[in-house]
Amino acid sequence: MFLTITATGTPGSPATDLGFLLHKHPDKAQPFSTSYGTAHVVYPEATEERCTAALLLEVDPVALVRRGRGKGRGGAPDSALAQYVNDRPYAASSLLAVALSTVFSTAMKGQCAARPELPGRALPLRVEIPSLPARGGPELVTGLFEPLGWTAVVRPVPLDVTFPEWGDSRYVSLVLESDRLTVAEALRHLYVLLPVLDGAKHYWVSPDEVDKLLRAGEGWLSDHPQQRLITNRYLARRWSLTRQAEERLETERQELLRLAQADDTEVEEIDNAVPAEAEPEAGADTGPDSDAAAMEVGATEAAAEEAAAGERPVPLARQRREAILAALRERRAARVLDLGCGEGHLVRELLKDTRYDEVVGVDVSVRALAIASRRLRLERMGERQASRVRLLQGSLVYTDSRLKGYDAAVLSEVIEHLDLPRLPALEYSVFGSARPRTVVVTTPNVEYNVRWESLPAGHVRHGDHRFEWSREEFRAWADSVAARFGYDVEYRPVGPDDPEVGPPTQLALFTLCADTGSERHAGPARARSGHATREEASA
Amino acid sequence: MTDAPVQEARPAGRVLPVTDLSLVVLIGASGSGKSTFARRHFRPTEVISSDFCRGLVSDDENDQSATKDAFDVLHYIAGKRLAAGRRTVVDATNVQQEARGQLVRLAREHDVLPVAIVLDVPESVCAERNAARADRADMPRRVVQRHTRELKRSLRHLEREGFRKVHVLRGVEEVENATLVTEKRFNDLTHLAGPFDIVGDIHGCSIELESLLAKLGYTDGVHPEGRTAVFVGDLVDRGPDSPGVLRRVMSMVESGNALCVPGNHENKFGRYLRGRQVQHTHGLAETVAQMEGESEEFKERVGRFIDGLVSHYVLDEGRLVVCHAGLPEKYHGRTSGRVRSHALYGETTGETDEFGLPVRYPWAEDYRGRAAVVYGHTPVPTATWLNNTICLDTGVVFGGKLTALRYPERELVEVPAERVWYEPVKPLVNEAPGGHQGRPLDLDDVRGRRIVETRHAGRISVREENAAAALEVISRFAVDPRLLPYLPPTMAPTATSGADGYLEHPAEAFAQYAAAGVGRVVCEEKHMGSRAVALVCRDAAAARERFGVDGPTGSLYTRTGRPFFDDGQVTEEVLGRLRSAIDGAGLWAELDTDWLLLDGELLPWSLKAAGLLRNQYAAVGAASGAVFPGALAALEAAGARGVDVSGLLARQRERAADAGAFTDAYRRYCWSTEGLEGVRFAPFQLLAGRGRSLAGVPHDEQLAWLDRLVEADGSGLLRRTGRLLVDTADPASVAAGVDWWLDLTGRGGEGMVVKPLGATVRDAEGRLVQPGVKCRGREYLRIIYGPEYTRPDNLERLRQRHLGHKRSLALREYALGLEALDRLAEGEPLWRVHEAVFAVLSLESEPVDPRL
């Protein structure tokens, strides 16, 4: 909420020209009202040698929360503003950019009626922003400003000096210096780049935002090496979803948000069934495991493809789906359960093939199902087509009579999202209770992790993976499940089968012994050796 | 029976017995007087007429084109009524065999008796009556003629069609004068409340039977306190003395000291006695040989006894069902061949196991009924409850033991077998390995909109979207439901204070309880950490025995059921320390339990809330800490230049001070931990132990237990909770309470919780009083309402907060929590406990101001 702009000058070109350029008198303290609070411009110094203008935005935190409050039953669609404990009153966020453009609108346009020759002139400038949220880290701050002719000194702000082990905060203290830029250019850089560096979305992107960006970016944005990142971030989530869809999604996560609050955790910690909307520059700032994660979730195919360019031309997620589809075709399954269907990628593939009469996508995440439903365009689907597909909220740690009697069930990249002690419940509900003829299980092969260059040693591929198994571990598990529940099992590699560490994904294909077995419940107590079944079934 | 319709005095006619739960099919031509008859003898809601259904679907009771739809509706309604166990009367001509066949099938589908009542009235009378009715005046005569013809043809084979009772009333007069009496079903002994001693499969083991009866307190088949023995069948075969067992049981039944249901072995033996061809396998040969020496008279008596046995009994107002092989709820009190065969043989999956024995369908796992089902049939090593059912066949004849269940006490009484009387085909194993609750719960027990019945607050409903969110969190993050018997309720804050500089102040809390008529309250120090529930078992064996888990000795979880520590070893370490403290305090023996459930707070806050601290609290601290030095220096410099910034500068100084205070506030609740080094647990309530919910124990007793725990803790894990008793009617005591809070919060404490000393308390109107209200400290609230909340204009706006929903939510969750504890203590099935726990979590996702 605070920054200073300092010009240095000479008697021939006094620093106090800054006052003319900014259209603010150095000897006055002037308040300006903006949409988020009062902005003040004061000059801590104003001499021929140095002139500093300070912009301070006083944000009203209480009003901010009330503004963030959404419509509908207890809705608070913008969780970034719903908290009274909020960095907005302190950090140089996108709110400050808005204030900047309000207070210095003429200066930004490069106009000065009194001294028309001034705006075109480059000045030795210094900009100080003591508390700047820097999504993407200090490197990105440098990477954004230096190509524009600034020298940037970026100093990370520690989270809390009394707890050095907590490390640095997401804020930096930034000093920019240049003698090649005009004041208008400096202001336009800040106007665009402050929101780009600010993680939170405090306002919805309005239709004229593109024009605003083009105007402010004129002359520098198109040649900027980070042009794509700047554009995407500035326009926030405009590309991924319409505003309405966005609001709906936010409403869908309200219940989970409250449960997270009850537990003093962040909503992201529990609402992670659906990967965050993929941004084209994913990987630049979402943490070290992001491209492995992108590969894994399959939601960000474009990103995954990019990340895997050359080495793995077909994204792993697609290879996995192809392996699953091949297995289902071999088993001549017509009625298929996709257990843990997520956003419905596999469901969509299955629907394209008329050999599947009935496709049921099951997921525990309501949000995932809502996205799946939209992606499949369920509401607009023809009756005949729609009758082939159903999406259900379900849980694999409970038995569910709706899931009985299917030809096949797919558990693709699902088991590793369950805590190990809960796995027996899944085994029972799938193999003992639902008891489809065929079960396809895929899971990461942890041995392969050494081949992901971007994945630090010892890390799992996705933040929510509770475990990742070696080939041996997976087979031990699957063999024991098969024996207990009366299935045969075979294993297949998915992706390049590395001679040393095996394939990135391992697949187990379970087949109900003798395939005539009862559709009824047959739990571990009644587990039988696979060979005895044929005679029994006819008994 | 209460459902007998009011009878008018009329000349003595025929008396027709009609079973209380049956499908009564009236048969008669149009105009034979069926509707009048139905009105006279049945309640209006019992009767469904085809004319009425025709009207429902077509707006015209005589629209014959609507007949098919009308009967669809009729069958649908009848089916719903029968499924709900209500007698149903079908008022339609029913003169065609096909129409009756559908109704007989419907009755069988719902396992009720089909009863036919024929109104055989002369055609002329029918025609005359129809002519007199405006809506039927133009009905052709041939219709009635056809009806009458078909009726005559039908009369001969109604029994063969499946009607279990057929009453034919001939002529107008007999119809007019008939009386109906409602008969109870044979299996309906709901009026008998016991107490009962239910005895498992005996199989001719008369020595063990006599020992068991003696142990139960019977002398020569009679109990001095008038208890009734109930035998679950399989009295005979395999064992050494089936006649002796029969003699004992028959005499007890005949003298009214016992009830008996048949087992499959009696059934087969009965067929043998009637001279049928049966294979002398599975121990029948032994019985036949033993009967050689018995008199013909005895054999006849046994035959009659077996023939007269009723497949199952419903006892004690429907709370208890006894049968041989177990019975799903939909068959309780029903009467059909299917029910009998189920009661005798149970359901099999069609498969056979490796010993060549049929694989039994595990019906008890699916059982969700309220009635306890006590049965035998399948030998198990030990009788254990599963979903409110218990199998008492403990294989005495195979060298196991003979078991009886005392009801309603639910105590097991056993005597061991004298020897192995008969070699078992396969070893005795429990149906459900991994404990009596070994299998996952069913989604239908939690999914969708639900109503949970609670003892303390009646019916509490859960919305579908809230259940959906709870399902996601429980499924993906929570500990095993067996180790998650409780979730803590939310708590409302005290009413908003108007006092200068305060949003919350104890004065309101004390006043609130005084107004509710609560005199004595306890103020308990609020520890600022993370809420934690600990389930501690005395050892792994106790955890296996009571909670059916193999390995862990308990659990430690957050308020949404997530494990506190990712590493199970760390959890065990904490449980171990708690266990030693409980050992040291002698609470296992004192509370007669081998497990305890504790509610408390785990500290420091930074342990579990690290993500939130980093991304929100410390982040705001960092952002504000970085900005103010520069901003203040700039304003000061401007001021020094003579620019008028005095107001602005003063404001920024205050804001800087507020931000500093905020940072200080959260820092107090953070400290570094290394493993368990630095971790503290502050228990504030013992929730339950074996057979007992402790939630209603007054807080002074609770705190005394907890103090002993803290004292006995040698590990430094446990932290004492500071407290002060306050009398809400005594101003001096209230002032002391306020001072105590000021002192506590002045030293950086989070605040306190004020609770009625009596724990679970009701007000004068009988409504539950809030079990506690929190009163948070002025500095602590910066973490909730933001660094600058204390500025007067902010406070003024923040005072506009609405507590109503939060209070209601707190009470509903409290009642659900108590319900979970009661169900747990009473040994109710896991799904019942889980239902209440799940509902607490669901309600936690209701929209309510998160700052309250």
> In the predicted model, is pLDDT for residue B12 greater than 90?
no
Cβ–Cβ gap A131/B624 under 8 Å: yes
pLDDT at residue A239, rounded to an integer: 40
Closest to B351 (Cβ–Cβ): which among A2, A400, A537? A537
With cut-offs at 50, 70 and 90, classify the pLDDT of residue A258: confident
Judging contacts by C-beta atoms under 8 Å, the chain B residues touching residue A169 are 614, 618-619, 622-623
A29/B648 CB distance under 8 A: yes
A255 touches chain B (CB under 8 A): yes
Q: Coil, strand or helix: which one is A372?
A: helix
Q: Cβ B612–A158 below 8 Å, yes or no?
A: no
Q: Which of B559, B608, B627 sits opposite A131 (nearest CB)?
A: B627
Q: Which residues of B touch A398 (CB under 8 A)?
A: 440-443, 445-446, 475
Q: Do A529 and B614 touch (CB under 8 A)?
A: no
Query: What band does B429 get if pLDDT is binned at 50, 70 and 90?
Result: low
Q: DSSP alpha helices (H): ranges in B713-803? A: 731-746, 781-785, 792-798
Q: Is B430 exposed, middle or buried (0-12, 13-18, 19+ CB in 10 A)?
A: middle
pLDDT-derived band at B434 (thresholds 50, 70, 90) equals: very low
Nearest CA in chain A to B349: A520
Residue to mutate among A38, A397, A431, with most B CBs inside 10 A, is A397
Q: For residue A173, name the pLDDT band (cuts at 50, 70, 90).
A: very high
Interface contact A392, partner B, CB < 8 A: no
Q: Which residue has the higher pLDDT, A385 or B209?
A: B209
Q: Are A526 and A483 in contact (CB under 8 A)?
A: no
For position A309, what pLDDT does the model report? 41
Is A169–B623 a contact, with Cβ atoms under 8 angstroms apart? yes
DSSP symbol at B482 = G
Q: Which residues of A touch B624 (CB under 8 A)?
A: 87, 89-90, 131
| Arithmetic mean of pLDDT over chain B | 91
Residue A40 with chain B: CB contacts under 8 Å: 648
Are residues A29 and B643, on separate chains, in Cβ contact within 8 Å? yes
CA A514 to the chain's CA centroid: 45
- DSSP characters for B661-696? HHHHHHHTT----BTTBT-EEEEEEEEEETTEE-TT
- Of the residues B472, B649, B800, the best mutation for testing chain A's interface (the one with the most A CB atoms within 10 Å of its CB) is B472
Interface of A with B in 2-31 (CB under 8 A): 2, 4, 27-29
Quick one: pLDDT at residue A310?
A: 43
Tokens of B573: 């370490």
Cβ-based contacts of A166 with chain B (< 8 Å): 613-614, 618
Q: Which of A517, A442, A529, A426 is nearest to A482 (CA)?
A: A529
Verify whether the Cβ–Cβ distance A46 to B641 is below 8 Å: yes
Which residues of chain A are within 8 Å of residue B643 when distances are taken between CB atoms?
27-29, 42-43
Q: Which residues of chain A have a CB within 8 Å of the CB of B475?
A: 364, 395-398
Sheet with B385-386, strands from edge to edge, namely B188-189, B312-315, B320-323, B372-375, B389-391, B385-386
Contacts of A396 in chain B (CB under 8 A): 475
Q: Residue B354: is its pLDDT beyond 80?
A: no
CB pairs under 8 A between A and B: 299
The answer to whether the Cβ–Cβ distance between A157 and B623 falls below 8 Å is yes
pLDDT at site B211: 96
From the candidate CATH numbers 3.10.105.10, 3.30.1610.20, 3.40.50.180, 3.30.70.580, the one assigned to the domain spanning A2-234: 3.30.1610.20
Question: B552 to chain A: which residues are within 8 Å by CB?
Answer: 421
- pLDDT tier at A252, thresholds 50, 70, 90: low
Evaluate if residue B436 carries a pLDDT over 70.
no
State the smallest CA–CA distance between residue A306 and chain B in angstroms: 30
Residue contact A259–B439, C-beta within 8 A = no
* Mutation for testing the B interface, residue in A42, A173, A248, A518 having most B CBs under 10 Å: A42
Better pLDDT: A348 or B428: A348
**pLDDT at residue B658 in the model:** 94
pLDDT tens digits for range B107-129: 999 999 999 999 999 999 999 89
CATH 3.40.50.150 fits A316-538, yes or no: yes
Q: What are the residues whose beta carbons fall under 8 Å from the beta carbon of A185, sequence distance 6 or more? A: A148, A219, A220
Closest chain B residue to A5, measured at CA: B634
Nearest CA in chain A to B670: A163
Predicted pLDDT at A250? 59
pLDDT band of B350, cuts 50, 70, 90: confident
CB contact under 8 A, B637 and A44: yes
Q: What is the pLDDT of residues B358-412, one digit of tens each?
A: 777 878 888 888 899 999 998 888 888 888 899 999 999 999 999 999 999 888 9
Query: Which residues on chain A are in Cβ contact (under 8 Å) with B470?
Result: 259
pLDDT at A532 over 80: no
The pLDDT confidence band at residue A110, using thresholds 50, 70 and 90, is confident
For residues A40 and A71, which has the higher predicted lDDT (pLDDT)?
A40
* CB B14, CB B41: distance < 8 Å: no
- CA nearest neighbour of A212 among A233, A186, A185, A192: A192
Residue environment code for B154-167, b if the CB has 16+ CB neighbours within 10 A, otherwise e? beeebeebbbbbbb
Give every CB contact of residue B829 below 8 A, 6+ residues apart in sequence: B385, B386, B387, B388, B437
Between residues B136 and A481, the one the model is more confident about: A481
Residue B121: DSSP 8-state? -
Structure tokens at A492: 């297949």
What's the N-to-C CA distance of chain A in angstroms?
Answer: 80
* Three-state DSSP class for residue B711: helix
Residue of B nearest to A129 (CA): B627
Per-residue confidence band for A538, with pLDDT thresholds at 50, 70 and 90: very low
Mean pLDDT is highest, among A108-117, A197-206, A462-471, B43-52, for B43-52
* Cβ contact, residue pair B784, A84, below 8 Å: yes
- Residues A266, B612: C-beta atoms closer than 8 Å: yes
Of A75, A266, A521, the CB nearest to B362: A521
The residue among A128, A105, A124 whose CA lies nearest residue A216 is A105
Tell me whether the omega of the peptide bond preceding residue B433 falls within 30 degrees of 0, making it cis. Answer: no
Tell me if A43 and B794 make a contact (CB, 8 A cut-off): no
CB A316 within 8 Å of CB A505:
yes
Numbered ranges of CATH 3.30.1610.20 in chain A: 2-234
User: Tens digits of per-residue pLDDT, B583-611?
Assistant: 999 999 999 999 999 999 999 999 888 88
For the ranges A102-111, B315-324, B519-528, B767-776, which has the lowest average pLDDT?
Answer: A102-111
Q: Which of A29, A42, A163 sits opposite B670 (nearest CB)?
A: A163
Q: Two tokens at A336?
A: 């298929």
Tell which A residues from 190 to 229 touch B, by Cβ distance under 8 Å.
Answer: none
Partners of B696 in the β-ladder = none
Q: Does A45 touch chain B (CB under 8 A)?
A: yes
Test the B interface: residue of A79, A90, A128, A435 with most B CBs within 10 Å: A90
Chain B interface test: which of A255, A256, A268 (most B C-beta within 10 Å): A255
Cross-chain residue pair A62–B786, CB shorter than 8 Å: yes
Q: How far is residue A100's CA from residue B170's CA, in Å, rounded to a whole number?
A: 101
Pick the closest to residue B643 from A97, A119, A173, A56 (CA basis).
Answer: A56
Cβ atoms < 10 Å from Cβ of B569? 7
- Given a contact cutoff of 8 angstroms between Cβ atoms, the answer to whether A4 and B634 are in contact is yes
- Per CB-CB distance under 8 Å, the chain A contacts of B477 are 270, 419
What is the biggest distance separating any 2 CA atoms in chain B, rounded to whole angstroms?
A: 127
Q: How far apart are CA B424 and CA B556, in angstroms?
A: 43
Contact B835, B444 (CB under 8 A): no
Task: Pinpoint the residues of chain A covered by CATH 3.40.50.150.
Answer: 316-538
pLDDT tens digits for A404-419? 999 999 999 999 999 9
Cross-chain Cβ contact A169/B622 below 8 Å: yes
DSSP string for residues in B36-84: HHHHHHS-GGGEEEHHHHHHHHHS-TT-GGGHHHHHHHHHHHHHHHHHT
User: Whole-angstrom Cα distance, residue A144 to residue A173?
Assistant: 15
> Nearest C-alpha of chain B: how many angstroms from A322?
27
pLDDT at B9 over 90: no
| Mean pLDDT, chain A, integer | 81
In tens, the pLDDT along B285-296 reads 999 999 998 999
From CA A308, how far away is CA A315, in angstroms rounded?
7
Among A149-163, A371-385, B18-32, the least confident range: A371-385
Q: Is B743 helix (H, G, I), strand (E, B) or coil?
A: helix
pLDDT of residue B166: 93
pLDDT at position A70 is 46
Contact A175, A120 (CB under 8 A): no
- Flag whether the ipTM exceeds 0.95: no
Does B481 score more than 90 pLDDT?
A: yes
The CA distance from A281 to A301, in Å, is: 13
pLDDT band at A117 (very low <50, low <70, confident <90, very high): confident
Phi, psi at residue B48, to the nearest 5°?
Answer: -120, 125
Residues A20-35: tens digit of each pLDDT: 889 888 898 889 988 7
Q: Is the pLDDT of residue A527 over 70?
A: no
How far A74 CA sits from the closest chain B CA (Å)? 5
Which residues 147-186 on chain A approach chain B with CB closer than 8 angstroms?
A: 157-160, 162-163, 165-166, 169-171, 173
Tokens of B761: 């308390």
